[in-house]
């Protein structure tokens, strides 16, 4: 869960940028070795950036750095809190 919190904090700093986009979020997440890319791809199978805003990222420990569109921020979600 610490990895998801760390990534959420880093991405939330980027969210404040006027040029923030899903592409920038994905680029920043690629720098994080704790992101589980196969699981992230599966989580975002039906992702549409024009509708959904930004992707969420699955961490190696099973937690998620989740995009909260109504709040325009990322939040860490523990593995046992996933629905």
Domain extent, residue 31, equals 2-81
CA distance 21 to 37: 19
Residue 59 confidence (pLDDT): 98
CB-count exposure of residue 14 (10 Å: 0-12, 13-18, 19+): middle
For range 25-42, the mean pLDDT: 97
Distance of CA 72 to the CA centre of its chain: 12
For range 17-43, the mean pLDDT: 96
pLDDT digits (tens, 9 = 90+) for 53-70: 999 999 999 999 999 999
CA distance 16 to 3: 21
Residue 82 confidence (pLDDT): 63
| pTM for the structure as a whole | 0.92
Query: Does residue 83 register a pLDDT over 60?
Result: no
For range 7-20, the mean pLDDT: 95
Query: What value does the mean pLDDT of the chain take?
Result: 94
Total domain count, the chain: 1
Residue 14 confidence (pLDDT): 96
């Amino acid at each position: 869960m610490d990895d998801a919190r760390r990534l959420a904090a880093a991405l939330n700093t980027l969210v404040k940028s006027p040029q923030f986009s899903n592409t920038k979020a994905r680029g920043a997440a690629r720098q994080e070795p704790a992101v589980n890319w196969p699981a992230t791809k599966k989580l975002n199978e039906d992702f549409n950036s024009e509708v959904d805003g930004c992707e969420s990222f699955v961490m190696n420990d099973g937690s998620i750095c989740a995009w909260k569109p109504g709040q325009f921020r990322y939040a860490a979600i523990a593995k046992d809190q996933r629905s």
